[in-house]
Structure 1
Amino acid sequence: MQSISRFATRIVTLAAAAGASIALASGPASAAGFWGNACQDGRACIVLAHGTGPGGAYWNIDGCKHHSIHDYYKTALAQGNAFYVNYANGKWDYVAPWTGRPLDSSTLVTSVDVLC
């Protein structure tokens, strides 16, 4: 009976971990925005380096401010305002208005600063 109890405990633990992973995948850290299959006009967008979010690979960022991010991205698109993409290693990339650029997909993005 004890082995069944251990087995049940492991299943509950794994289910909780899987649920936490799904909750984290809903959006990048505390950045306000939404997943999409494209970058919408007027938005600063970053594209996941691997896979997709729940609604697509494009994170459409809401608002002009500092946004905490915690994932790997391959492309940045400014469909309006300029923004900075900041990396864990202290480096950054600038994205001019109405342009796009590749990002360092092997380095963790820690934040995005959308300028107004």
Structure 2
Amino acid sequence: LAEEVVKLVKSIPRDEGSDFLFPGQGKTGVMHANAVRTLLHDMGYKQITRHGFRSSFRDWAGECTHYPREVCEMALAHDERDQTEGAYSRSDFLDKRRGLMADWASFICKPLAENRIAVNPA
């Protein structure tokens, strides 16, 4: 995890009765799949989707970095290699993904005015 993420995770109050960082309220203790969507809607951000977070990362990685496509896709847990390619390409690109995610953390932690991407509020 990027240094910024580690700091954030350590700052989150823990529920001592749960093994999960983000515990759910049901019997299993697992957070519901729609919990993030519900939180965003409750905060008044109905136009923001969970998928939008992933899409924003992928657009940034493709437009603002020189990381190979395979590394960017693997960071999103997309392994699009076909059976033949997968037989020869067994890497998980872990070191390159670490660099990519550190760069992403640095990007999203900067004030908006410092980032190179023009943001369209529409």
Query: Shared fold (TM-score greater than 0.5)?
Result: no
Judging by fraction of residues, say which structure has more strand. 1
TM-score normalised per structure 2: 0.21
TM-score normalised per structure 1: 0.21
Judging by fraction of residues, say which structure has more helix. 2
Of structures 1 and 2, the one with the larger relative CO (CA 8 A, separation 6+) is 2
